[in-house]
Amino acid sequence: MIRRQDVRDRLRLNTELATEVLSTFIADAVETTASNGVVLGLSGGVDSALAAALAVRAIGAERVHAFVLPYHSSSPDSAADAASVARDLSLTLRSIDISPMVDAYFDSHDKEADQVRRGNKMARERMSILFDQAKKLGLLVLGTSNKTEILLGYSTIFGDNASSINPLGDLYKQQVWQLAAHLALPQQVIDKDPSADLWPGQTDEGELGFTYEIADEVLYLMFDRGLSPSEVAARGYPEKIVERIGALEERNRFKRRLMLIARLSGSAINLDREIPRD
Amino acid sequence: MPLSFYCLPGLRWSTPLNIGIAQTDVRLGALEDNLEKHLEWVKKALDRGVDLLVFPELSLTGYRLLHLTGRVAVRPAGSALLKPLLEASRKLALIVGLVEEDGHGTLYNSSLLLSDGRIAHCHRKLYLPTYGIFQEGRFFGAGRTLSVAPWHDNVLGLLICEDLWHPHLARSLAMAGAKVVIVSSASPGRIGPGATPESQEVWETLIRSTAIVNTCWVVYANRVGWEEGSFYTGGSLVARPGGDVHCRAPFVQEYLLTADIDLREVDRLRWRLPLVRSQRSDIEGAP
């Protein structure tokens, strides 16, 4: 029987091996698609910093195009941390202020929009810019969503969860931290409270109502190991939190399976014709 | 009595077989690109004096084909794709992997042994993994026969990946005279806390135990590269009769691993450890 302390051990990664393998993932995708490199948004957080560091290892800094995409309410610390990551990795960092684009929509059409909708719009505006830059320069958009937030649905569909390739999507948050430490990313980026920074004072753990440590372990037991919520709770996790994590995972599955096509023909895309990409 | 009487035809006792493992990446569905790569690696292997060059499972097509499977299928007899490889096989023997079409509506995951300009042997994968991320049973038919390759004194047995997880197959080959079991593979990797991919630890246990209980050489040719977000480990290796690892390739990167294999080592071990000849088929049935 897997015990709670075993879960922590199971979430430990051999960081050297994982780094090597994930670097080949990026290099392989760039080569296979004959792209010129990758583009990503640096938020100042640990996920995008790690994705950038892996990309630099894979294809060299000159082929990694980094953007910081602040909104006027974004914390200045975010941009400063993004700059520090870029400096560490010898990346050229370009800044595009998304405030005019986001505000133009809400000011003209929906002044009453709540902060969640505004946050979603910001996330999509950023991804829209990254895909445009990718088109302009012949690049792949590097995703930076980790497994914890993908499973919890703590992301904006077609926003931060959109990408061409995602090297972090099978890493729980604490595994992201492990790799970030291994790659000696700036300490303040590793140590700070994770935040989508979509409104002032927002933190992931505050909004979710539980810590990443708990979320990772509960998700590992449910998703990776197939335990039921009651079996998870029996291992010493608070029942209410387990239920909430289970409900979030279930409710947000739609964000993980894009393009739901109504099948009529018997040769529907994806369902009847699974044509893989290399 | 002339000395040649004591020598096996084709292979002299004292001459080791120089086996090469082409631990390559494969482009999914890109037959021409993959053929070109095969020919490049044949050149490299010739420079290294390789007698038999082993490519991974589905080396000409890529592994995770799904609905592309039928589009890359080949009928080996008279195939234009195989022609340059058959030509190359006059210089060294080759084991390549492809989707084989039998002309009766079935596709197979097959390994071909090419030698002296002809197809010397074909092994159709017997166990098709259809669980987890594997979907072979949806697209392939399972092979129905197992035999040693009729090549150089019938000392070679071919298996493909999952076949090795069913230990009676390697046993059956050993009983039929195989001294070398060749396993072409497309085995995806998983990473945990250890310095070795977790999937590799299982494979190495299987390979070494196969070599131990069948007192034979085991040659494991695994591919590298990515397909649809899943990576192949590499880590190809050769295990000696008795189970020691003779040599191994690194993880993740392309690599040409070569090994001199002394077939007499099998005989010498079997004289003192008669596990194969003491098989109680009368009790257990034929393996």
pLDDT, position A200: 83
User: Measured between alpha carbons, how far is A267 from A223 in angstroms, rounded to an integer?
Assistant: 31
Instruction: State the sign of the Cα–Cα–Cα–Cα dihedral A246, A248, A250, A253.
Output: negative
Length of chain B: 287
Judge whether A16 is closer than 8 Å to chain B, CB to CB: yes
CB contact under 8 A, A17 and B225: no
State the nearest Cα–Cα gap between B190 and chain A, in angstroms.
9
Taken in order of first residue, the domains within chain A and their CATH numbers are 13-206 (3.40.50.620)
Judge whether A28 is closer than 8 Å to chain B, CB to CB: yes
**Cα three-residue angle A29-A34-A36, rounded to 5 degrees:** 90
Cβ–Cβ under 8 Å, residues B216 and B179: yes
pLDDT band (50, 70, 90) for residue B3? very low
Within 29-68 of B, beta carbons closer than 8 Å to A belong to 29-30, 62, 64-68
- Residue B92 is classified by DSSP as S
pLDDT, mean of residues A167-188: 97
User: Measured between alpha carbons, how far is A7 from A152 in angstroms, rounded to an integer?
Assistant: 19
Three-class DSSP category at B27: coil
CB contact under 8 A, B226 and A28: yes
Percent helix, strand, coil in chain B, to 5, is 30, 30, 45
Across the A:B interface, residue pairs with CB atoms under 8 Å apart total 64
Residue written as tokens 């049935």? B285
Cβ–Cβ under 8 Å, residues A141 and A127: yes
Residue written as tokens 């998703």? A223
CB contact under 8 A, B192 and A274: no
Q: Looking at beta carbons, which residues of chain A come within 8 Å of B227?
A: 276, 278
Q: How far is CA B170 from the centre of its chain?
A: 12
**Cα three-residue angle A180-A45-A9, rounded to 5 degrees:** 40
Query: pLDDT tens digit string along A71-100?
Result: 999 999 999 999 999 999 999 999 999 999
Q: Looking at beta carbons, which residues of chain A come within 8 Å of B25?
A: 28
Alpha helices in B103-216 (DSSP H): 136-139, 168-175, 198-214
pLDDT, position A46: 97
- Is B142's pLDDT higher than 70? yes
Q: What would the two tokens of residue A224 be? A: 């990776």
pLDDT band (50, 70, 90) for residue A240? very high
Residue written as tokens 């290796």? B237
Cβ–Cβ under 8 Å, residues A146 and A172: yes
Q: Looking at beta carbons, which residues of chain B come within 8 Å of A12?
A: 192-193
The amino acid at A16: E
- Is A129's pLDDT higher than 60? yes
pLDDT, position B4: 41
Residue A3 CB coordination number (10 Å): 10
- Is B10's pLDDT higher than 70? no
Query: pLDDT tens digit string along B214-267?
Result: 999 999 999 999 999 999 999 999 999 999 999 999 999 999 999 999 999 999
User: Measured between alpha carbons, how far is B277 from B110 in angstroms, rounded to an integer?
Assistant: 29
Query: pLDDT tens digit string along B44-73?
Result: 999 999 999 999 999 999 999 999 999 999
pLDDT, position B68: 95
User: Measured between alpha carbons, how far is A267 from A270 in angstroms, rounded to an integer?
Assistant: 9
What number is the ipTM of this complex?
0.90
Q: What is the mean pLDDT of chain A?
A: 95
pLDDT, position B15: 67
pLDDT, position B9: 45
- Is B14's pLDDT higher than 80? no
- Is A160's pLDDT higher than 50? yes
pLDDT, mean of residues A229-252: 96
Helices A212-219, A173-182: axis angle to 10 degrees equals 110
Interface test with A, best of B33, B61, B191 (most A CBs within 10 A): B191
**E strands, A9-77, in order:** 37-41, 64-68
Beta-sheet strand order (sheet of B156-160) = B156-160, B180-185, B217-222, B237-239, B245-248
Taken in order of first residue, the domains within chain B and their CATH numbers are 16-274 (3.60.110.10)
Considering only CA atoms, give the Rg of chain B: 18
- Residue B160 is classified by DSSP as E
pLDDT, position A278: 80
pLDDT, mean of residues A162-187: 97
pLDDT band (50, 70, 90) for residue A199? confident
Cβ–Cβ under 8 Å, residues B153 and B11: yes
Judge whether B143 is closer than 8 Å to chain A, CB to CB: no
Query: pLDDT tens digit string along B65-111?
Result: 999 999 999 999 999 999 999 999 999 999 999 999 998 999 999 99
Q: How far is CA A222 from the centre of its chain?
A: 20
pLDDT, position A1: 85
> For residue B184, how many C-alpha atoms fall within 13 Å in the half-sphere facing its CB?
32
